[in-house]
Structure 1
Amino acid sequence: MVVNSLAGQAIDRGLETLRPGGRFVELGKRDIYANKPLLMRPFSRNIAFFGVDVTALLSDPAGLHTGRRLLAEVAERVADGRYRPLPHTVYPAARVGEAFALLQHSRHIGKVVVSLDPQDGPVPVRTRPGPPRLDPDSCYLITGGLSGFGAATARWLADRGARHLALVSRRGADGPEAAAVLSDLAARGVTATPYAADVSDAAAMARVIGALDATGHRLAGVVHAAMTLSDGPLTELSDERIRAVLAPKMAGAAVLDALTVDHDLALFWLYSSFAAAIGNIHQAAYAGGNLFTEALARRRGRTGPALAVGWGALGDVGHVAREGLAPAMEALGAEPLGPHEALAALGSVAASGTAVTGIGRYDWTRVRSWLPALATPRFSALRPADGELGGNSRQDLLAALADVTADEALETVNRALAEVLARILQTDTARLDPALPLQDYGVDSLMAAELLTTLRQRLDVEIPPMELLQGGVTLTDLARHVLLRLGVRTTDSANG
């Protein structure tokens, strides 16, 4: 006997396994509803095919009595042990990820059960930390707070409830953006006081903090956003240029740490850069200064709150926006984040207890193509698996399709999708027929989700799940969908 709930070729293969006189019980409904044809040769062995729809049996008034009788009989046989549980594998809830992986790759026999038995031990639950709560009666100091991303941070703190801000820059209220920033904050009901001081000057910063203490609004938080850039190859950087870059980052962070060590701060944030993790041949001093801030955050974090944030490319405000670098950064795989989105992410991680974090949006495949450092083991968790879509990003694939015919384009995408699907199914690409419906390979909803997620992450192509799961969709159909969303025609102009 074969009890079947699969579709497509699984039905044909199941019929072939029956010996003479065998019975095939079809519980699945997909092929029945699709009115699929059935091979007749296996029936020469005197086998029988039964189509069973239990829901129809229970809803049909004529069959309701029979259905109740059968259910009672099943319950009796379960109770007396004649019907035993199906083969199953039990995972404690703490290992639910392993259970899904087993199910996803069809390595299981029978059912996969997740147990919530208290004897299995506590289930680790990761709560999403909320943004920090700000005290409206306290004061928050922001270096570099009168322009760029520092000013965006000031606005964000104001929206989170801060009502007293101390904004420090070397030019103070005379800065080019200062008047607009102060006016905007005043409109939000915030008392924002500008201070002209060099953050690396310990005496000047001591006077600023002394003035804050005299206002009666205790200092509750510090955000160090001040920075200076002087890009160039290391061989062209003079000692003066290096000092100019290091001073606000290193000396400024050290001064703020020393002057606030006795203050009960709720937050101490140091703005770093992704350049500290991967380096930049034109920003050696800047990368070094940011590494210092991260080391300081780790040390200070042992006794109190401290966080260094390695920012990726930021759009709308700051250096990338000011210099018009957003298109270039995006082409390299580092899509700029808007200040609102970036600071919302900061709010989520600020309460996590980590000392150093990174926030940015990256296409890791594209970034790795020009940044060898990403091939090192420390970045292995960020890199997509080798072999997915032939290692191509959206731009790489578009470049490969630029000078080929429509048929060649379809074949290229077909081949790339086959590699992804073969990895998901854990089979060889040679066994996949592009003209065969995906459901015939046993592609279920979990596998489909993995395939669609890969397309979204690697190619920025969105395909609704129902388009993939509907009956009859083949790899070639999916390849046409991908080409359509990439803006590539699948028919030659010569052919109309």
Structure 2
Amino acid sequence: MNILAGPKRTHGEGGPGCECSGVVTRVRPDVKGLKVGDRVISIAAGSFATKLMTRENLCAKMPDNLGFSEGETIPCVYGTRGQTVLIHSAAGGVGLSAIQVAQMVGAKIYCTVSNAEKIDFLVKRFGIPRTHIFNSQDSSFLRHVMAATNGWGVNVVLNSLSGELLHASWKCVAEFGVMVEIGKRDFIGQAALSMDLFEQDRSFQGVDLTQISSQRPVLMNSLLRRAIQFFEGGHIKPIGPIREFDAARVKDAFRYMPKGQHIRKIIVMLPEPGQIAQDSLPLHLRSDRAYLLVGGLGGLGRSIASWMVEKGARHIIFFSRSAGSVPKDDPYFRELEAQGCFVQTFSGSVSKAVDVARVIRAAGKPIGGVFQASMVPSNAAINEMTFDQWQIETGPKVQGTWNLHKLLLNRKEPLDFFFLFSSLSGLAGQIGQANYAAANTFLDALVQFRQAQGLPASVLDIGVMDDVGFLTQGNNTDILEALRATTLHVLHEQDLLDSLELMMRRSRPGGRQWSSSQFGFVSGSQVGIGFRSSLPLLARNNRTIWRHDPRMAVYRQARVFLAETSANPGYLLQQFEDKALFLAKEIDLELLLEAPLSSLGVDSLVSIELRHWIRQKIGAELTVLEIVGSASLVDLGGKTVSQLRGRYAALGLRGYYIRISFEFSFVELFFGRGLCLFPVVFVCIHDILYLL
């Protein structure tokens, strides 16, 4: 929120976060009170991490009957410690703990909250009289506190309010009383405090647990141990209710907190260590399992099978209508076998349960994973579509997938993944493909069903493929060109393989589905690729079929945002320069700028790819001969700049509009008359390295 400065790092400690719970994994020889395996709570900076190194005095052992989420609620709130007490923001974490401590010592409690829901919560949960609960949003609590105490005030004010409300809180302190300030805004703002009230022996005490834990760790340890003793004695309880966010949604947790409307402790749950390691390691398929590829002897299936072998697969089963008729000495099969992969082929229909059962029985090894990529196209307008056409298209995907689901249940060796190839048609529809869209929608729904049953499943909704797959075969190229003419973004083989690896990891059940009242149902096991247009959705000549779909509003707004931010060159240029400097550290830039393109591996094939990239991302039209004939990257950059200068000067523009793509993000830059050669050259360098 840019209100407080970030925590300072001292003696190797520090960083975001101040409290946590976990398990001790390592101790120094001089640590006496804790050992490896102890479950502990800790108050220490830098707790937003999967591993934390801290001091023994900042930790305390947790009882066996205390869970990690509950334990995490204790360190900060009970480390803050009467007669009569006024507790501000009493429905927050510190407020709820202060109520329990005050009740434990028999103090009379007055408190403030921000809404009626919190009032009801305090009355029902803690039995605080309604007449003792006031409004924390204005200074009216001063009048009510003084009336309730016959003008005397309270012995202790636990304050977190700022500005005018801090001064109102200070006036609530009785003679010989103390105001305990745990807020920081007025400290940072160097606010003044009325001095006349000190005359009646009132005290003002600022408390910052960060300072205590850093400068007085022994005192902090006594507070932690005392909190645990209070818990074990039944005097206090963990703060509840709890709102948990997993680590991937940590941004949502921080956005949830400042609203001030919650009655709960906010917890960020980090993933299990095994999950972290598994997600970060390269994908490796098992050599002791067979992988069933249904409908996979076309270009797409062969590409996937080769990729599987590279990932460690040593037994692949091809199952399609014609797979069994392919000769055993087929060059592609011989290539796979040369890499140590055993290949089985079976002809049959996945729509027939008997055929599926036969393949499963005949598998040379236990089946470890399934790729369901079967399809039989039968396009027709919905008002002209026959029942047979409907069945031809839906049978392999609907009945076939259900057969795979049923016949692979309850096996001794569970599947590692159950991967389904779906299409954007199932989400956005395509003219003449109602049957195909319906079949793919079934696949999307089945993934939700299997995940709910604790079974592995994931689905990839694929857009238009250019270099592999159904549309690149035979007469289907006409369909590809027709789809390209609608301005749909075209995917390539590597896009598919990258997405395939991601979704195979997400096939594991659990932790990938959640429900949110704000966004409805979300499934991390279903992802669509290729939902992009080569023209802005608002362009008149854009014929993308889903351009008016309300679900694509975010996409449209993102493009509008980029158009608006292009008017702010300073901010976007800084983003570009940061990325450029990062890349410059990784390569010998000066050497690459002057090197002949041939020495960088730029042959005719790479030139074609580079020409396409420059046209799509930068907007310059260069021929393959111009690229191949360039003496160096500097020369190529000069040609690009000259082409852009002539193009935009003809339009009467004051500058040059360049679009640059880096991995999964892109920025749009607007350069003035003094167009710099370096960015264009650097873009070329980056993409050439990527192609190599």
Q: Is residue 351 from structure 1 mapped to residue 480 from structure 2 by the alignment?
A: no
2:403 to 245, 250, 255: 255
Measured against aligned partners, the alpha-carbon deviations of 1:378-425 in whole angstroms (never above 9, x if no partner) come to 223333446468xxxxxxxxxxxxxxxxxxxxxxxxxxx7x5445x5x
Q: Is the 8 A contact 2:398 2:443 kept in 1?
A: yes
Question: Which sections of structure 1, spanning at least 5 residues, go unmatched?
Answer: 1-83, 88-92, 100-118, 390-416, 425-437, 451-455, 464-480
Q: After the TM superposition, which residues 252-401 of structure 1 pair with which residues of structure 2 at under 5 Å, given as runs?
A: 252-263=400-411, 264-302=414-452, 303-322=454-473, 323-324=476-477, 325-352=479-506, 353=512, 354-360=524-530, 362-363=532-533, 365-366=535-536, 369-371=542-544, 373-385=546-558, 387=560
Letter in 2 for 1:198: S
- Equivalent position of 1:19 in the other structure: none
C-alpha separation in 1, matches of 2:368 and 2:572:
55
Question: Highest relative contact order (Cα 8 Å, sep 6+), 1 or 2?
Answer: 1
1:490 to 643, 649, 652: 649
1:238 to 376, 381, 386: 386
C-alpha separation in 2, matches of 1:143 and 1:485:
48
Q: Is the 8 A contact 1:146 1:177 kept in 2?
A: no
Q: Is residue 141 from structure 1 mapped to residue 292 from structure 2 by the alignment?
A: yes
Q: Is the 8 A contact 1:149 1:225 kept in 2?
A: no
C-alpha separation in 1, matches of 2:329 and 2:552:
40
Percent identity, aligned pairs only? Answer: 26
> More deviation in 293-302 or 315-324?
315-324
- Equivalent position of 1:227 in the other structure: 375
Q: After the TM superposition, which residues 2-151 of structure 1 pair with which residues of structure 2 at under 5 Å, given as runs?
A: 94-95=250-251, 122=268, 132-151=283-302
Letter in 1 for 2:359: V
Other structure's SS at 1:382 match: helix
Report deviation, 1:200: 0.4
The TM-score, its normalising length taken from structure 2, stands at 0.40
Q: Is the 8 A contact 2:428 2:545 kept in 1?
A: no
Letter in 2 for 1:260: L
In structure 2, the CA distance between the partners of 1:178 and 1:262, relative to structure 1 (3 Å rule), is farther
Other structure's SS at 2:505 match: coil
C-alpha separation in 2, matches of 1:224 and 1:287:
16
C-alpha separation in 1, matches of 2:429 and 2:557:
21
C-alpha separation in 1, matches of 2:641 and 2:381:
42
Other structure's SS at 1:460 match: helix
In structure 2, the CA distance between the partners of 1:366 and 1:249, relative to structure 1 (3 Å rule), is farther
Report deviation, 1:276: 0.4
Report deviation, 1:155: 1.4
In structure 2, the CA distance between the partners of 1:96 and 1:273, relative to structure 1 (3 Å rule), is closer
- Equivalent position of 1:114 in the other structure: none
C-alpha separation in 1, matches of 2:380 and 2:645:
37
Other structure's SS at 2:293 match: strand
In structure 2, the CA distance between the partners of 1:270 and 1:120, relative to structure 1 (3 Å rule), is closer
Measured against aligned partners, the alpha-carbon deviations of 1:283-332 in whole angstroms (never above 9, x if no partner) come to 11001000011111110112121011101111222222112244444443
1:159 to 294, 310, 321: 310
In structure 2, the CA distance between the partners of 1:444 and 1:274, relative to structure 1 (3 Å rule), is closer
C-alpha separation in 1, matches of 2:307 and 2:646:
39
Other structure's SS at 1:253 match: helix
Report deviation, 1:95: 4.9
Report deviation, 1:151: 2.1
In structure 2, the CA distance between the partners of 1:253 and 1:97, relative to structure 1 (3 Å rule), is same
Letter in 1 for 2:467: D
Instruction: Name whichever structure is richer in helix by fraction.
Output: 1
Q: After the TM superposition, which residues 401-416 of structure 1 pair with which residues of structure 2 at under 5 Å, given as runs?
A: none
Q: Is residue 171 from structure 1 mapped to residue 341 from structure 2 by the alignment?
A: no
In structure 2, the CA distance between the partners of 1:156 and 1:234, relative to structure 1 (3 Å rule), is same
The TM-score, its normalising length taken from structure 1, stands at 0.55
C-alpha separation in 2, matches of 1:482 and 1:96:
43
C-alpha separation in 2, matches of 1:209 and 1:86:
72
C-alpha separation in 1, matches of 2:388 and 2:188:
77
1:201 to 340, 344, 352: 352
C-alpha separation in 1, matches of 2:534 and 2:280:
26
Size of the aligned set, in residue pairs, is: 317
Report deviation, 1:187: 2.4
Measured against aligned partners, the alpha-carbon deviations of 1:433-453 in whole angstroms (never above 9, x if no partner) come to xxxxx66xx887259989xxx
C-alpha separation in 2, matches of 1:133 and 1:328:
38
In structure 2, the CA distance between the partners of 1:446 and 1:256, relative to structure 1 (3 Å rule), is same
Measured against aligned partners, the alpha-carbon deviations of 1:187-223 in whole angstroms (never above 9, x if no partner) come to 22210111011110101110110111xx3x2111111
Letter in 2 for 1:262: N
Letter in 2 for 1:344: D
In structure 2, the CA distance between the partners of 1:227 and 1:164, relative to structure 1 (3 Å rule), is same
Q: Is the 8 A contact 1:364 1:382 kept in 2?
A: no
Letter in 2 for 1:383: R
C-alpha separation in 2, matches of 1:274 and 1:449:
35
Report deviation, 1:376: 3.3
> More deviation in 336-345 or 249-258?
336-345
> More deviation in 154-163 or 131-140?
131-140
Q: Is the 8 A contact 2:566 2:572 kept in 1?
A: no
Question: Which sections of structure 2, spanning at least 5 residues, go unmatched?
Answer: 1-186, 191-248, 256-264, 507-511, 513-523, 580-612, 621-639, 652-692
- Equivalent position of 1:50 in the other structure: none
C-alpha separation in 2, matches of 1:387 and 1:201:
50
Q: Is the 8 A contact 1:461 1:486 kept in 2?
A: no
C-alpha separation in 1, matches of 2:555 and 2:578:
20
Instruction: Name whichever structure is richer in strand by fraction.
Output: 2
